[in-house]
Amino acid sequence: MKRLTVIAIIALLFSAAGLAGKDKRKRSGLTPYKIPLPEFVGDYFDKMPVDEENPLTEEGIALGRRLFYDKRLSADNTLSCGSCHQQRFAFADNRAFSLGVHDSLGIINTMPLFNLGWGRAFFWDGRAASLREQVTEPLINQREMAGTWADVLDKLQQDKDYPLLFKKVFGSEKINSTMVSKALTQFELTLVSFGTRFDRYYFDGQADALTKQEERGLDIFFGFGNCNHCHSDVLLTDNYFRNNGLDLDPQPGLYNTTGKAADRGRMKVPSLRNIALTAPYMHDGRFSTLEEVLTFYSSGIHQKSPNVDEHIVPLGKGLFLTPEQKADLVAFLNTLTDSSFIRNPAFSDPNPPR
């Protein structure tokens, strides 16, 4: 009986703490925000993890969006996060390597930004353990925005609006790097993309959402093509790191982060959502078209690449797709484009140039 009483008291304390947190946000004038997700995401996949230290609010998201498109976050005030992560390209860009400050050339392809709340580690080599780490690394990367925290924070502090906006969201006019990373994270978490014809067909049961050719491509994708072993579940990525046999002597990839020989050549598996928008492809942007990608998987896999993935090995020397099968598979991949995502005004620059 005593044990039940203690459990009840603990439950009440946790409940009170939760209510206190909600009351605090309410008293501060912040508006809690819940990301709108279609029902099938919850039906077929895990809920998006919640960061209790950085709860989503409309005000925090608006601040993060403003920062995302602010070029003053770069050393020479010429680049923003949105310069390399462009909405029309599903928040990637259309270059093999992005241009940084003073036209410095990047060394790896820019990954798109969407459905980030389910990510386990970020960047091709997994060097960022959390989204909060990922969002701010480009600010101080010398090949990208090339700034320093001291300079970035000084510019934000001198702005006529930012100190009050940060105080509203985080309770202090004295801006620090943690506040910046939290605000950017809040905005990027809202970049969710689940509005494709594939979703309507596969999850919502809309039988006429795909053409016969696209259905044939879907059958290859989930059938002998084995594409869904890595590009799986609702996200169309398993968020793991794999060597797909691209090179006999691959770039280090995850090895640069872990130092483990077994991780050499492993790169993060990208989502295939919006894949038609995110060319060029692979970590080095070597393929310009989806047709080139399929030619590689059809007949170009290097089976003796170190740590080649177990799902690649069963393919033998390749898929040897016929021209018709390639066309069918490309047609299916095009159904993964979310037009509403790339046109959503909530994700666009709040202060576009005139």
Tell me the mean pLDDT in the region 21-34. 70
Residue 315's nearest CA partner among 229, 218, 253 is 229
Q: Which amino acid is at 227?
A: C
Number of separate helices (H) and strands (E) present in the chain = 14, 2
Contacts of 286 (CB under 8 A, 6+ apart): 96, 280
What pLDDT score was predicted for residue 316? Answer: 55
Residue 114 tokens read as 């969407």
What pLDDT score was predicted for residue 312? Answer: 84
φ, ψ dihedrals at 56, nearest 5°:
-70, 130
User: At residue 145, does pLDDT exceed 90?
Assistant: yes
pLDDT digits (tens, 9 = 90+) for 66-90: 999 999 999 999 999 999 999 999 9
SS3 of residue 141 by DSSP:
coil
At the second CATH level, the architecture of 29-193 is Orthogonal Bundle (1.10)
Domain 197-337 sits in which CATH superfamily? Cytochrome c-like domain (1.10.760.10)
pLDDT digits (tens, 9 = 90+) for 10-26: 444 445 445 444 444 45
User: At residue 178, does pLDDT exceed 80?
Assistant: yes
Residue 153 tokens read as 């924070």
Residue 276's nearest CA partner among 353, 334, 212 is 334
Return d(Cα 339, Cα 156) in angstroms, integer: 34
Residue 219's nearest CA partner among 335, 329, 338 is 329
Q: Say if CB 290 and CB 275 are below 8 A apart.
A: yes
Residue 279: pLDDT band with limits 50, 70, 90: very high
What pLDDT score was predicted for residue 17? Answer: 47
- Helix axes 177-189 and 58-68, enclosed angle (nearest 10): 100
φ, ψ dihedrals at 77, nearest 5°:
65, 30
φ, ψ dihedrals at 268, nearest 5°:
-65, 135
What pLDDT score was predicted for residue 100? Answer: 95
Domain ranges across the chain? 29-193, 197-337
User: At residue 144, does pLDDT exceed 90?
Assistant: yes
User: At residue 27, does pLDDT exceed 60?
Assistant: no
Tell me the mean pLDDT in the region 139-162. 96
Looking at every residue in the chain, the average pLDDT score rounds to 92
What pLDDT score was predicted for residue 311? Answer: 85
pLDDT digits (tens, 9 = 90+) for 113-125: 999 999 989 999 9
Q: Say if CB 31 and CB 59 are below 8 A apart.
A: yes
* Kind plus residue range of the DSSP H or E element containing 267: strand 267-268
Percent of the chain, pLDDT > 90?
A: 86
What pLDDT score was predicted for residue 315? Answer: 55
Distance between the two ends of the chain, CA-based, in angstroms? 70
Is the bond preceding 252 in cis, omega lying within 30 degrees of 0? no
Fold agreement (29-193, 197-337): yes
